[in-house]
Amino acid sequence: MSYQVLARKWRPKIFDDMVGQSHVLKALSNALDQDRLHHAYLFTGTRGVGKTTLARIFAKCLNCEKGVSSKPCGECNACTSLDQGRFIDLIEVDAASRSKVDETRDLMENVQYAPTSGRYKVYLIDEIHMFSGHSFNALLKTLEEPPPHVKFLLATTEHKKVPITILSRCLQFNLNHLTVEQIIEQIEKILVAENIKYDKKSVELISICAAGSVRDALSLLDQAISFGNGALKEDQVRTLMGMVENEDINGLLQSLVNSNPDAMLDVIEKISSKNPDYNNLLSELLRSLHKIAILQILPEDSSHIRKTDETLLEFANVMTKEEAQLYYQIGMMGRKDFYLSPDPKTGLEMIMIRMLAFNPSGNDLEIKKKQIIQTTKNVDVINKEKPVESNSQDQSKGSDGDDPNSTWEDIINEMELVGFVEVLARNCILQSQDNEKVKLLLSPDSENLLTPELKEKLEEAIKKRFGNKVKLIIAIEESNHETPFDVATRLKKESKNIAKESVKNDPLVKNLQDTFDATIDKVRPQ
- Residue 351, in any domain of the structure: yes
Rounded mean pLDDT, 516-521: 72
Residue 518 near residue 369, CB atoms below 8 Å = no
Strand pairing report for 150-156 and 171-174 = unpaired
Q: What is the pLDDT of residue 231?
A: 87
Q: What is the pLDDT of residue 521?
A: 67
Q: What is the pLDDT of residue 306?
A: 57
Q: What is the pLDDT of residue 359?
A: 74
For the whole model, what pTM was predicted? 0.58
* pLDDT tens-digit readout, 217-229: 999 999 999 988 8
Is 48 in the same domain as 155?
A: yes
Is 466 in the same domain as 347?
A: no
CA distance 124 to 504: 79
Q: Which residues contact 137 (CB under 8 A, 6 or more apart)?
A: 101
Residue 421 near residue 454, CB atoms below 8 Å = yes
CA distance 373 to 370: 5
Q: Does the pLDDT at position 48 exceed 80?
A: yes
CA distance 302 to 315: 17
Long-range contacts from 339-342, C-beta under 8 angstroms, 24+ separation: none
Of the candidates 45, 41, 58, which has an alpha carbon nearest to the alpha carbon of residue 154?
A: 41
- Residue 490, in any domain of the structure: no
Band (pLDDT 50/70/90 cuts) for residue 305 is low
**Domain end point (choices 154, 174, 194):** 174
Q: What is the pLDDT of residue 117?
A: 86
- Residue 383, in any domain of the structure: no
- Residue 502, in any domain of the structure: no
**Domain end point (choices 361, 377, 401):** 361
Q: What is the pLDDT of residue 59?
A: 93
CATH of the domain at 267: 1.20.272.10
Q: Does the pLDDT at position 380 exceed 50?
A: no
Rounded mean pLDDT, 472-482: 87
Residue 242 near residue 277, CB atoms below 8 Å = yes
Most confident of 99-108, 348-357, 439-448: 348-357
* pLDDT tens-digit readout, 381-422: 444 444 444 343 343 344 444 443 357 888 888 888 877 788
State how many domains the chain has: 4
Q: Which of the pair, 3 or 86, is modelled with greater confidence? A: 86
Mean pLDDT of the residues in the chain? 83
Q: Does the pLDDT at position 365 exceed 70?
A: no
Q: Which of the pair, 291 or 396, is modelled with greater confidence? A: 291
At 146, give phi and psi (nearest 5°): -80, 165
- Residue 433, in any domain of the structure: yes
Domain that residue 168 falls in: 6-174
* pLDDT tens-digit readout, 332-345: 999 888 888 899 89
CATH of the domain at 212: 1.10.8.60
Is 23 in the same domain as 114?
A: yes
Which 3-state string (H, E, C) describes 6-44? HHHHCCCCCHHHCCCCHHHHHHHHHHHHCCCCCCEEEEE
Amino acid at 44: T
CATH of the domain at 165: 3.40.50.300
Exposure letters 183-207 (e unless 16+ CB within 10 A, then b)? bbbbbeebbeeeeeebeeebbbbbb
CA angle 178, 179, 185 (to 5 degrees): 95
Q: Which of the pair, 407 or 44, is modelled with greater confidence? A: 44
Q: What is the pLDDT of residue 465?
A: 85
Is 190 in the same domain as 129?
A: no
Q: What is the pLDDT of residue 308?
A: 62
Is 169 in the same domain as 205?
A: no
Rounded mean pLDDT, 476-485: 86
Is 27 in the same domain as 150?
A: yes
- Residue 517, in any domain of the structure: no
Amino acid at 470: V
Q: Which of the pair, 375 or 210, is modelled with greater confidence? A: 210
Q: Does the pLDDT at position 480 exceed 90?
A: no
CATH of the domain at 451: 3.30.300.150
Is 416 in the same domain as 280?
A: no
Q: Which of the pair, 99 or 292, is modelled with greater confidence? A: 292
Please provide the distance, in angstroms rounded to a whole number, between the alpha carbons at the two ends of the chain. Answer: 78
- Residue 488, in any domain of the structure: no
Q: What is the pLDDT of residue 103?
A: 80
Q: What is the pLDDT of residue 401?
A: 41
Is 133 in the same domain as 204?
A: no
CA distance 429 to 198: 78
Residue 439 near residue 405, CB atoms below 8 Å = no
Is 161 in the same domain as 194?
A: no
Residue 143 near residue 176, CB atoms below 8 Å = no
CA distance 329 to 332: 5
Is 37 in the same domain as 158?
A: yes
Is 214 in the same domain as 155?
A: no
Q: Does the pLDDT at position 374 exceed 80?
A: no
Stretch (H or E) spanning 275: none
* pLDDT tens-digit readout, 264-290: 999 999 888 888 888 888 988 998 999
How large is the C-alpha radius of gyration of the chain? Answer: 38
Rounded mean pLDDT, 218-245: 86
Q: What is the pLDDT of residue 435?
A: 83
* pLDDT tens-digit readout, 167-218: 999 999 999 989 989 999 999 999 999 999 998 889 988 998 888 899 999 9
- Residue 377, in any domain of the structure: no
Is 158 in the same domain as 19?
A: yes
CA distance 289 to 295: 10
Percentage of residues of the chain with pLDDT beyond 90? 29
Strand pairing report for 437-442 and 471-476 = parallel
Rounded mean pLDDT, 70-92: 90
